[in-house]
Amino acid sequence: MTRIRPATLDDTEALRAIYAHHVAHGFGSFEETAPSVETMADRWAAITRRGLPYLVAEIDGAVAGLAYAGPYRPRSAYRYTVEDSVYVAPAFQGQGVGKALLGVVIETCEAMGLRRMLAFIGDSGNAGSIGVHRSCGFRHAGVLEKVGFKAGRWLDVVVMERDLGGTVDGAPQGPGLDLSGG
């Protein structure tokens, strides 16, 4: 059984291990060197300080995946829009972990009054991530062709989007994210 819970500082090494695998062996991240445990802790703090979700999935006590929502861009007009990130440990891929995590990230952001979630998926061939996002209500918005170069090849970014809380029509309720420096 998969348990979704907020990530804590104690999870930092597990978060780093999962993310480092994707940096080293995949194209979902365009980083080429895995960050340190300290950098992962700083990234976790930057997200959670804003009250945004940073979650882990646990299976039998092991951290099986992570997901979070971060600000899309720093300018104030973007305060109702977030970008999601989802990474699943190799041993747990294909078991619904990513979909479960992303579903809770979406629900949390909707409850915060946010209105739009974007996904920037590394590699047009990343069928797993594209499929998870599609299954969670995202629609294809475009492809940024050959914008990254990693492991000797040019990589696209697939852009997907999803409304939060029904629709983005009309004036939003609430203040949105504080983008003043987090």
Domain membership of residue 24 (yes or no) is: yes
Instruction: Tell me the CATH number at 117.
Output: 3.40.630.30
Structural domains of the chain, count: 1
pLDDT at 4: 98
Q: What is the DSSP string of 40-73?
A: HHHHHHHHHTTT--EEEEEETTEEEEEEEEEES-
Of 182, 172, 180, 173, which Cα lies nearest the Cα of 75? 180
125 DSSP 8-state letter? T
pLDDT over 80 at 170, yes or no: no
Domain limits for position 156: 2-163
Q: What is the pTM of this model?
A: 0.94
Report the C-alpha gap between 100 and 96 in whole angstroms: 6
| Interior/surface letters 22-56, b for 16+ CB within 10 angstroms, e for the rest | bbeebbbbeeeebbeeeebbebbebbbebebbbbb
Tens of pLDDT, residues 85-109: 999 999 999 999 999 999 999 999 9
Domain membership of residue 89 (yes or no) is: yes
